[in-house]
Amino acid sequence: MGYDEVIKYLGDFGRYQRQIYFLLCLPAISCAFHKLAGVFLLARPNFRCILPFEDVNATYESFPQQQWNLTYPYDPLTGKWQMCEYYNRDYTDDYLNGSTINATIDTKECENFAYERTRYESSAVTEWNLVCSRSLLSATSDSLFMLGVLLGSIVFGQLSDKYGRKPIFFASLVMQEVFGVLAGIAPEYFTYTVSRMIVGATTSGVFLVAYVIAMEMVGQSYRLFAGVACQMFFSVGFMLTAGFAYFIRDWRWLQIGLTLPGLLFMCYHSIIPESARWLLSKGRKTEAIAVIDKAAEINDVNIPQLVYDNLMEETNGSDAMKVSSGSNERTPSIFDLMHYPNLRRKTLLIFFDWFVNSGTYYGLSWNTNNLGGNVLLNFVLSGAVEIPAYSFLLLTLNKWGRRSILSGCMLTAGVSLILTIIVPSDMNWLIIVLAMAGKLAITSSYGTIYLFSTEQFPTVVRNVGLGASSMVARIGGILAPYLNLLGQFWRPLPLLICGALALLGGLLSLMLPETLNKSLPETMEDGEKFGRKQRSSDGRDSNNEDGEELTTMITKHNGKIISCT
């Protein structure tokens, strides 16, 4: 008898679970602060080159507009002045007044820059001149932050399985506070970027570990709601980030201001319990019973002593997912999914969907500065559309099916984003509307892919498959900053690329089998047969017909059958 039997008496979502669940969802807000802060920390305002005859402290507005054509090259393709170089001329008063003409037409690269201060008092970009030839450093900083998220999900995930959810949650929280403040006082780019990368890693330790604790205490009937609702807290943090940026216009104080709220979660130490499921998996039955007793007391329920007497130590997740070959056991790997054609095809399709969803989600979230109009309003709207996106999932996932929602949302996102290239330049509001429609749709598909992938992979390699999918998703997030950098050359380009990828992903998703109300595949053989079309004796295509041929094929692989132990 395992923890699921205890849930029958505690209730799937009793008062105790609701209280702890709410407290564990709040850290998602602070993690959103850190993940979205780069939009403002690395904001690139309008700038111009400081010319040789100007004072080094010259302002953006100090140079007369009518003299720009005499000093800066103009690019008719983009309709913008080239602010990274200036005409190498003799800037006499007569020349600047237009009285004389200088025949020299070569240009020279800028060394000093003046920035517009109306939107941002300062940013890391303006402080360290991360523009022109150094603009790649700005994208690299955000990219390394996402690399930290990837590494954190691996490291802290392993540590939480070994040492427990609770200690890793608080260790990550302490690291997040320390390096979050360090990023705010960093004296130069390298220290700032490394600190932000470590903060990115801790978001996995804080948010994902808290999410696991919350989900492990919720019963089956509420897991869909609990999983989706937790993401809404992240969306709230998304929108609140703009509020901090509105009141704090200096990037250093903004970084520190977004970090300090995490200190509030330190008081959780005496409130948040260790996961009873994890305690049972480690054979710590007495501690698990103490957690269960407290939950029963708050839920005002009685658990029969027989349940405690028969409470078995649950098998450790890593042990339960071993692949057996006769009498030998080995840990499954991603290569097991690549041995068989149908599983390989489904796995690659799922990987591509994760890559596209993550890249498009973060690409759109970080692209609000390139949309035009009010930057803060665009940012708030980008976060606000996530609430109806997740609400849509709650209402439809168990009715319309996973595949139709995933494919439909990705196709909607793709079409919306591609349409932005045909919008006239004087209708910027329509570009914003289409971008937000694309963000809403991709948020829904991103929420769907979590559940859909879980139901596609066989039990024996489910954790491995989800872990590999998450890693592929992080690659999309790592590349997203470089994608947005292209918007400096042509504003619609990031939207066009995201739209094309989402459209392709939506079409390819139709090749995946529907999982709603279907039995989940347990063994590798089940996974290979699931959704595999075979020709029946009457000539019609059918799914999961006679599996004799498949069984033979799997058996021939090293002469062994892979199954769940």
For 63-80, how does the pLDDT look when each residue is reduced to its tens digit (9 = 90+)? 787 777 778 887 776 677
Domain count, the chain: 3
Residue 371 DSSP one-character state: S
Question: pLDDT tens digits, residue range 463-501?
Answer: 678 778 888 988 999 999 998 888 777 778 889 999 999
pLDDT for the residue numbered 1: 55
**Residue that the structure tokens 């929420």 belong to:** 447
Any domain includes 290: yes
pLDDT for the residue numbered 541: 44
Domain final residue pick, 319, 343, 371:
319
Q: What is the Cα–Cα distance from 503 to 507, expressed in whole angstroms?
A: 6
pLDDT for the residue numbered 19: 92
pLDDT band at 437 (very low <50, low <70, confident <90, very high): very high
Q: Which residues of 285-309 are buried (b: 16+ CB within 10 A; e: fewer)?
A: eebbbebbeebbebbeeebeeebee
pLDDT band at 180 (very low <50, low <70, confident <90, very high): very high
Instruction: Evaluate if residue 565 carries a pLDDT over 80.
Output: no
Average pLDDT, the chain: 83
Choose among 470, 511, 510: nearest CA to 341.
Answer: 511
pLDDT average, residue stretch 254-278: 91
Q: What pairs with residue 329 in β-bridges?
A: 324
Give the H/E segment covering residue 410: helix 402-418
Tokens of 87: 């005409």
Any domain includes 354: yes
Q: Same structural domain for residues 442 and 507?
A: yes
pLDDT average, residue stretch 274-286: 83
Question: pLDDT tens digits, residue range 317-341?
Answer: 444 444 544 445 555 667 777 888 8
pLDDT for the residue numbered 555: 37
Tokens of 129: 């001149």
Instruction: Evaluate if residue 170 carries a pLDDT over 70.
Output: yes
**CA 469 and chain centroid, separation:** 12
In contact, 424 and 536? CB cutoff 8 Å: no
Any domain includes 324: no
Beta-carbon count within 10 A of 227 CB: 19
Q: Give the type of residue at 561.
A: I
Q: Same structural domain for residues 18 and 132?
A: yes
In contact, 192 and 274? CB cutoff 8 Å: no
pLDDT for the residue numbered 195: 97
Instruction: Label residue 313 left, alpha or beta by phi (over 0 means left) and psi (-120 to 50 means alpha).
Output: beta
Q: Give the type of residue at 257.
A: G
Any domain includes 394: yes
CATH label of the domain that carries residue 526: 1.20.1250.20
Q: Same structural domain for residues 308 and 186?
A: yes
Any domain includes 436: yes
Q: Same structural domain for residues 136 and 20?
A: yes
Q: Largest Cα–Cα distance in the chain? A: 100
Q: What is the Cα–Cα distance from 254 to 122, expressed in whole angstroms?
A: 10
**In Å, what is the CA distance from 486 to each residue of 79, 403, 436?**
16, 32, 19
Q: Same structural domain for residues 89 and 19?
A: no
Write phi, then psi, for 505 (nearest 5 degrees). Answer: -65, -40
pLDDT average, residue stretch 399-416: 93
> Which residues lie closer than 8 Å to 313 by C-beta, 6 or more apart?
280, 281, 283, 285
In contact, 445 and 402? CB cutoff 8 Å: no
pLDDT for the residue numbered 453: 84
In contact, 50 and 131? CB cutoff 8 Å: no
Any domain includes 377: yes
Q: Same structural domain for residues 266 and 134?
A: yes
pLDDT band at 315 (very low <50, low <70, confident <90, very high): very low
pLDDT band at 558 (very low <50, low <70, confident <90, very high): very low
For the question of whether the overall pTM of this predicted structure is more than 0.95, the answer is: no
**Residue that the structure tokens 């804080």 belong to:** 206
In contact, 366 and 218? CB cutoff 8 Å: no
Any domain includes 538: no
More confident of the two residues 88 and 413: 413
Tokens of 79: 């309709």
Tokens of 277: 């499921």
Q: Same structural domain for residues 442 and 498?
A: yes
Question: pLDDT tens digits, residue range 115-152?
Answer: 988 888 899 999 999 998 888 999 999 999 999 999 98
pLDDT average, residue stretch 277-298: 86
Any domain includes 556: no
Instruction: Evaluate if residue 399 carries a pLDDT over 70.
Output: yes
Write phi, then psi, for 216 (nearest 5 degrees). Answer: -75, -15
Q: Same structural domain for residues 292 and 387?
A: no
pLDDT for the residue numbered 317: 43
Q: Same structural domain for residues 422 and 278?
A: no
In contact, 256 and 181? CB cutoff 8 Å: yes
Helix (H, G, I), strand (E, B) or coil at 330: strand
pLDDT for the residue numbered 284: 85
Helix (H, G, I), strand (E, B) or coil at 472: helix
Q: Same structural domain for residues 368 and 509?
A: yes
pLDDT band at 2 (very low <50, low <70, confident <90, very high): low
More confident of the two residues 366 and 102: 366
Domain final residue pick, 262, 291, 319:
319
Of 4-18, 82-96, 165-179, 272-286, which one has max mean pLDDT?
A: 165-179
Domain final residue pick, 116, 144, 175:
116
Instruction: Label residue 218 left, alpha or beta by phi (over 0 means left) and psi (-120 to 50 means alpha).
Output: beta
Residue 288 structural domain? 1-37+127-319
> Which residues lie closer than 8 Å to 191 by C-beta, 6 or more apart?
182, 183
More confident of the two residues 407 and 320: 407
In 402-507, the DSSP E strands lie at none
Beta-carbon count within 10 A of 478 CB: 21
pLDDT average, residue stretch 230-243: 93
Residue 207 DSSP one-character state: I
Q: Same structural domain for residues 405 and 514?
A: yes
Q: Same structural domain for residues 385 and 265?
A: no
Choose among 405, 504, 391: nearest CA to 445.
Answer: 405
pLDDT band at 539 (very low <50, low <70, confident <90, very high): very low
Instruction: Evaluate if residue 550 carries a pLDDT over 50.
Output: no
| 27-41, 288-302, 321-335, 536-550: the lowest-pLDDT one | 536-550
Question: pLDDT tens digits, residue range 146-165?
Answer: 999 999 888 887 888 888 88
In contact, 340 and 532? CB cutoff 8 Å: no
**In Å, what is the CA distance from 541 to each residue of 346, 536, 544?**
18, 6, 10
